[in-house]
Amino acid sequence: MNDRTEKKRKPRARMQALLTNRMKRKLALVFALIVLALLGVSVRLAYINKTSGDKYTKKVLAQQDTNSTTLPYRRGDILDRNGTILATSEKVYNLILDPKVLWQNQDKEDAEKDCVEPTIKALVQYFELDESELRTTLSEKKDSSYVILRKQLSKDEIADFKAAQEDKETENKIKGVWFEDSYIRRYPYNSLACHVIGYTVTGNQGQTGIEEEYSDTLNGINGRSYKYLNEELEQSTSVKKAVDGNTVVSTIDATLQGIAEKYIDKFIEDYTNKSVEGPAAKNIGVLMMNPQTGEILAMAGDVDFDLNNPQDLVGNGYLTQEQVDAMSEEEQLDAKNQMWRNFCISDGYEPGSTVKPMTVAAALELGLVNDSTTFLCDGGQVIVQGQPKIKCAKKTGHGIISLEGSLMFSCNDALMQMGAMIGYDNFLKYQQIFNFGLKTNIDLPGETNNASTVFTKDTMGPVELATSSFGQGFNTSMIQVASAFSSVINGGYYYQPHVVKKILNAEGGTVETVNPVLVRQTISNKTSSMIRQYLYHTMYGTADANGNNPTGKKGRVAGYTMGGKTGTAQKVPRSARKYLVSFIGFAPADNPQVVCYVVVDEPNADSPTTQASSAFAQEIFKNIMKEAMPYLNIPRNAEIPEDMKEEVAAEEAARAEQEAEEEATEEETPIEEGTLVDPNTGETVKMPTEEEVEAEGDSGPLDDYESPILPEDGSNPAETE
C-alpha cells in the first residue's frame, strides 16, 4: 500500500468516526428526552393519583361496571330501652328481568333449547304477571338488562320460583331473571310511640322523630358487585360489601308507652260526646320521664298514626274520605303535618299552676320566704288601680295560709304576692334558669322554644309579673315544664331531656353510650326537699282550719307515696272561657324515679266551671300511675288514707266479682261427653270409641309407616356387608 492511498483513507476514517460520534450523541439525546418524558409522565401520574385518584378510579370503575349491582345496606333498628324492636328493616326482593340475556337464549328452531317461552311461562305462573304485558315489555326493551317486574317480594313469595330455577329439569330453561336485594322499613307495633319513632320515605330518609334526628346514624353505606375483564381477559366479579347502619336504643319503655296510650284512648272513649257533642278534648298529651337522668320513658298524644302507613289521613282516622276529597293537595299536606305533629314538644300553651312550684322555689332560693311565711288570700288582687281584680281560683279567699298552703291549695293570691317580692329582674332570671323561652335541646326534631311568647324586661309590667307567677300570660311546652319540674324535685339538677340511650353497631357492640347531660343546678337540695314535701301534702294533706282542701287528691294511688301539682289555665281569648287543665306528679315522694305530666286541652264539659277542673287530667294520671308504679317496682310503702279505703274496698269487690264470673263461666262451659282437655295445650280432644277402633281394623301400632333409613325387606345392613 503506497503513501498516497494511505493518505486518502485517513480523512474518510475520520469522517466516519465523526458521523458515528454524532449519531451516538443524537441517540443519547433522544434517549435522555425519552427518559425525561417518561419521568415527567410518572410524576404527573403520581400527582393525579394523589390529588384526583378517587375521581378517576370511579370513572374507570364506572366504565367497567356495565353489569354492576348495588348491594343495599340495612338501616339500623330502633329499640326500646329493654331491647324491644320498635322499627326494623325487613329484607325483600325485587324481581328483575334481563331481556337482553333472555333474547340471547332464544332458539326458534329447537323448542328444546329455547328459553324465552319457559321463562315467560314461569314468570306468569309464579308471580301472576300479565302475559301480554310481559311479552310487550320483552319486545320493547330488547336491549335492556334491567327491568323491574315486581317490587318488595318476601322470601316466601319467591321461594317456589327459585326452586324452579334450581330444578335440574328446568334450570337451563329459565334465563335472564334474578332477584335484587332490598329492604323495607317495618314497625311491629304500628302506631305505638309514633311521634317519637318517626318513619322513613324513599331513600331511607327519616321523617320526624328518631328516624329523622338519627337518620345518618341509622343509615349505612351501599356496597357494589360488578363484573370486569381481568388480565387474562376472563370475566371476574369484584364485591365491595355494604356497611349496615347502626342500631339506636331509645330511652322509651314500650310497656309504659302502651300504658300511657291505653288511658288516653280510654279517656277519649269515655268523654267523647259525654257532656256536649264533640271530641273528648281538643288536645291531650302525656309525658313520662326519669327526673334523675332526663330520660324520656313515654311520650304520647291523642292523635296517632300507623307508622307502616303514615300518609293515609283516612286510614289513620284523622279525617273522613269526604273531608279529604274536598281538600287541595296543599291542604292535605297541611293536615298530614298536623297529624304528624308532636304535641309534647312542638306546641306552646299557658301552663297554669303546674309552674307554681318553680315560683315558690325561686322565692325560697332568694331568701324572701321560708317555711313559716304566711299569706292572706282574700280572693284576688288589684295589681293596677282602675284595672279589674286578678282573681284566685277560690274567689271567696283562702284566708291566712302558709307557704306550703300556697301550693297545697293552689292559691293565685299568695303567688302574686311572691311574684312582687321576687321582682322583675329575679323573676326573669329564674325563668331562664328553668329554661322557659329556651329550647331544651331534646334530641327530636320540631321542638318549639316559645322565645317570642315569654316576657322580657321590655314587655313585663306589674300585671305580667303577677300573672306569670301562677303560670298565665306566657307560653311553655310540655317538655319544658316536665324538665323544669324534674329539677325542682330531684335535688335541683336540670338534665337535658333525651330519647336515645345508646348506639350499637350492626353486630350489637356499643358504639356510643348517651350519658345524662347536666345543664345546670337550678335550686339547692334543701329547697328541693321542701318542694317535694309541699307537693306530697298537695296530694295527701288534710284540710286546714279554714276548710281549704289539697287540690291533688284525685290523682292518688292507694298504698303509694306521691307528690304532684294541679294546673288550670284560662285560654286566650279570655272572654271565651275555655280552659287547659293539667296535672304533673312524681313517685315515690322521697326519691322520685318517675315524673308523669298530663295535659288536657279543653276537656268535654257542659260549662266553663266544669271544664276548669284539673280532675280530668288527674284521672288520666291516676290510671297510668296505677299500672306504671308496680311495673317500675316502686314499692307500696304507705298506709291507705282513710278517705280512700272505701274506694279500695269497692275496687277489690269489683275484682273479686269479675274473677268469680270468670270462674263460673269456666265451670258452666259444658264438656262434651267422650272428650278431654289436654293439660299442656288446652285443646279439647275427642277420645275414640270401641266401635271406631274396631272399624279401623288391627294393622299394628305403626300401621303402614316405614322407616326411611331401613331396608324395605327388613334385612340388617350390617349382616349383608
pLDDT at 92: 92
663 versus 288: which is more confidently predicted? 288
| Res. 20: pLDDT tops 90 | no
| Res. 54: pLDDT tops 60 | no
265 versus 166: which is more confidently predicted? 265
pLDDT at 559: 93
pLDDT at 162: 87
pLDDT at 666: 60
pLDDT band at 698 (very low <50, low <70, confident <90, very high): low
Which tens digits make up the pLDDT trace of 268-284? 999 999 999 999 999 99
| Res. 65: pLDDT tops 50 | no
- Lowest-pLDDT range, 230-244, 510-524, 542-556, 691-705? 691-705
Strand (E) or helix (H) holding 247 = strand 247-250
> Which amino acid, one-letter code, is at 65?
D
- Lowest-pLDDT range, 47-51, 300-304, 616-620? 47-51
CA distances from 272 to 268, 277, 281, 338 (A): 6, 7, 8, 20
| Res. 706: pLDDT tops 50 | yes
| Cis geometry, peptide bond prior to residue 279 (ω within 30 degrees of 0) | no
pLDDT band at 60 (very low <50, low <70, confident <90, very high): very low
Q: 3-state class of 426 per DSSP?
A: helix
pLDDT at 110: 74
Residue 48: how many CB atoms within 10 A of its CB?
12
| Res. 41: pLDDT tops 50 | yes
| Res. 58: pLDDT tops 50 | no
- The per-residue pLDDT of the chain, averaged, comes to 88
pLDDT band at 49 (very low <50, low <70, confident <90, very high): low
C-alpha cell at 697: 281394623
pLDDT at 176: 85
E runs forming strands in 2-101:
69-71, 78-79, 85-97
pLDDT at 654: 86
333 versus 676: which is more confidently predicted? 333
pLDDT at 443: 97
pLDDT at 62: 40
E runs forming strands in 484-550:
493-495, 500-504, 510-513, 518-521
| Res. 412: pLDDT tops 60 | yes
pLDDT at 19: 62
| Res. 555: pLDDT tops 70 | yes
Q: Which residues contact 133 (CB under 8 A, 6 or more apart)?
A: none
Which tens digits make up the pLDDT trace of 174-183? 888 888 888 9
Residue 123: how many CB atoms within 10 A of its CB?
20
| Res. 27: pLDDT tops 50 | yes
Which one, of 358, 325, 234, 343, lies nearest residue 281 by Cα? 343
pLDDT band at 184 (very low <50, low <70, confident <90, very high): very high
pLDDT band at 14 (very low <50, low <70, confident <90, very high): low
CB of 354 closer than 8 Å to CB of 524 = no
E runs forming strands in 242-333:
247-250, 283-290, 295-301
| Res. 704: pLDDT tops 80 | no
> Which amino acid, one-letter code, is at 285?
G
| Res. 325: pLDDT tops 60 | yes
Which tens digits make up the pLDDT trace of 512-549? 999 999 999 999 999 999 999 999 999 999 999 999 99
Strand (E) or helix (H) holding 606 = none
pLDDT band at 61 (very low <50, low <70, confident <90, very high): very low
- Lowest-pLDDT range, 67-71, 263-267, 595-599? 67-71
Which tens digits make up the pLDDT trace of 350-381? 999 999 999 999 999 999 999 999 999 999 99
46 versus 562: which is more confidently predicted? 562
CB of 411 closer than 8 Å to CB of 392 = yes
pLDDT at 33: 80
Q: If you average pLDDT over residues 193-214, what whole number do you get?
A: 96
pLDDT band at 66 (very low <50, low <70, confident <90, very high): very low
Report how far residue 340's alpha carbon sits from residue 130's, in angstroms, rounded to the nearest whole number. Answer: 39
pLDDT at 140: 87
Buried b (16+ CB within 10 A) or exposed e, 635-652: eeebeebeebeeeeeeee
pLDDT at 11: 60
Q: If you average pLDDT over residues 135-164, what whole number do you get?
A: 88
Buried b (16+ CB within 10 A) or exposed e, 192-203: bbbbbbbbbeee
Q: If you average pLDDT over residues 593-618, what whole number do you get?
A: 97
Backbone angles phi, psi at 191, to 5 degrees: -95, 0
